[in-house]
């Protein structure tokens, strides 16, 4: 995973339309027309979003006669997951501190109520 490919992936994921397109493609291949159906934007605008996703390696397009299906390629998402996993220790420690704080609050409340 290179920093450049990770940047391309994050950039592609930054737009809600592109995330919605990826969610749809997770269900299976689709044509540009099928992908554009839920959005109120022009065909060229959808095509621009698809080019961004393709450049980031998140989708592939093939040609089957007149049909040009788009398919999800989730490999770049694995890179994002691996990058984010590096922060797991931080979050685990934060949750542990929060848990300890909440336990202290409960103990103080219990002690204040004479229980």
Along the 115 residues of the chain, how does pLDDT read in single tens digits? 455 889 999 999 999 999 999 999 999 999 988 999 999 988 889 999 999 999 999 999 987 767 789 999 999 999 999 999 988 888 888 888 998 999 989 988 888 887 7
Of the options 1.10.10.10, 1.10.357.140, 3.30.470.10, 3.50.50.60, the CATH number for the domain spanning 3-112: 1.10.10.10
What is the greatest pairwise CA distance in the chain?
79
Tell me the domain boundaries of the chain. 3-112
Instruction: Give the predicted TM-score (pTM) of the model.
Output: 0.74
H/E run at residue 9: helix 3-13
| 97, β-bridge pairs | none
Structure tokens at 14: 């930054």
Structure tokens at 95: 């949750």
């Amino acid at each position: 995973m290179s920093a450049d490919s990770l940047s391309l992936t994050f950039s592609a994921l930054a737009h809600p339309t592109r995330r919605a397109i990826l969610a749809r493609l997770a269900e299976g291949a689709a044509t540009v027309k099928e992908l554009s159906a839920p959005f109120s934007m022009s065909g060229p605008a959808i095509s621009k979003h698809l080019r961004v996703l393709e450049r980031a390696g998140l989708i592939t397009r093939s040609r089957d006669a007149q049909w040009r299906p788009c398919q999800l390629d989730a490999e770049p998402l694995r890179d994002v997951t691996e990058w984010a996993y590096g922060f797991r220790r931080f979050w685990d420690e934060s949750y542990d501190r929060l848990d300890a704080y909440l336990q202290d609050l409960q103990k103080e409340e219990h002690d204040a109520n004479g229980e």
